[in-house]
Amino acid sequence: MTAGIIDGKQIAEGFRQEIAVAAADFQKLHGLKPHLAAILVGDDPASQVYVRNKERACEKAGLKSTLHRLPSTTSESDLLHLVQRLNAATDVHGILCQLPLPRHINPVTILDAIHPLKDVDAFHPENVGRLLQGRPRFLPCTPAGVMKMLEVSGVSLPGLHAVVIGRSDIVGKPMAALLMQRGADATVTVCHSRTQEIASITRQGDLLIAALGIAEFVKADMVKPGAIVIDVGINRVGERLVGDVDFSSVTQIAAAITPVPGGVGPMTIAMLLKNTLTAAELTVSSR
């Protein structure tokens, strides 16, 4: 068997066009564009690329974006003041603080300070809690992007055994929450770095989602024949970008697989645009 490719780039493109139409409607109705304020502290090369891609995507979809670029020596209190200023700015709808932050800044302090109605990453505890209770305001971008890819690819989730590898706050935990929620109805197992006999568990997954951040960790013998494999990893190995899945061997056994790059990454950005639009709509409806 050779797996079908789930083309995230193409799916994201279609979704971004829908957002562009909705953003144009918003502008016509309210006389302003949905506006994302992004904060980048320091000069981490990967973060610079991510933030640039997010800005470009905003521009292409007709959203306004503003980048607040701060030196790596910025103090936690100066960063907090910027967040507070953006919280109060009526023309800013969404706020994103790119992670990782320099080590002297506690990310929890900063993420908790972002107003929950402007929290387009859905990292604020209020938004995490709402997601767990099945009444989300914003969906976390990467897990929501995965759900959208599965939907567009025609994957029927009810009753599937979904195995998630990784328990991060950004991907693993919210991914499990979305898959188990009513309506999605998957049976979910979460594996992590302390899981024993991990292959015996991953091999049970009708749907396998790799989000652990180790290059090419998932080999063919860890995958159930005919499984759908979603690779959330982005790892740099020399000049190459590879996922958490060993694409060349797993493609021989899976029914469908997402490539890296061109899989989950573009979906994450598309979902950020959607959340920015949602944030703008929330602002005008609460006026």
- Which residues contact ligand GUN by CB under 6 A? 96-99, 121, 141-142, 170
- Active-site option among 33, 64, 98, 119: 98
Annotation marks residue 252 as catalytic: no
Q: Which residue is nearest to ligand GUN (CB)?
A: 99
Using CA atoms, how far residue 208 sits from 166, 177, 179, 230, 233, in Å, is 11, 15, 12, 6, 13
Residue 97 Cβ vs ligand GUN, minimum distance, rounded to whole Å? 6
Residue 79 Cβ vs ligand GUN, minimum distance, rounded to whole Å? 13
Instruction: Find out whether 229 and 245 touch, Cβ atoms under 8 Å.
Output: yes
Annotation marks residue 33 as catalytic: no
Instruction: Find out whether 132 and 176 touch, Cβ atoms under 8 Å.
Output: no
Token digits of residue 78: 């100066």
- Active-site option among 33, 64, 118, 121: 121
Q: Cα(122)–Cα(265) distance, rounded to whole angstroms?
A: 17
Residue 110 Cβ vs ligand GUN, minimum distance, rounded to whole Å? 10
Instruction: Find out whether 140 and 122 touch, Cβ atoms under 8 Å.
Output: yes
Do strands 240-242 and 235-237 pair parallel, antiparallel, or not at all (unpaired)?
A: antiparallel
Residue 267 Cβ vs ligand GUN, minimum distance, rounded to whole Å? 12
| Phi and psi at residue 95, to the nearest 5° | -125, 130
Q: Cα(183)–Cα(171) distance, rounded to whole angstroms?
A: 20
Annotation marks residue 10 as catalytic: no
Q: Measured from the CB atom, is 178 or 250 closer to ligand GUN? A: 178
- Positions marked catalytic: 54, 98, 121
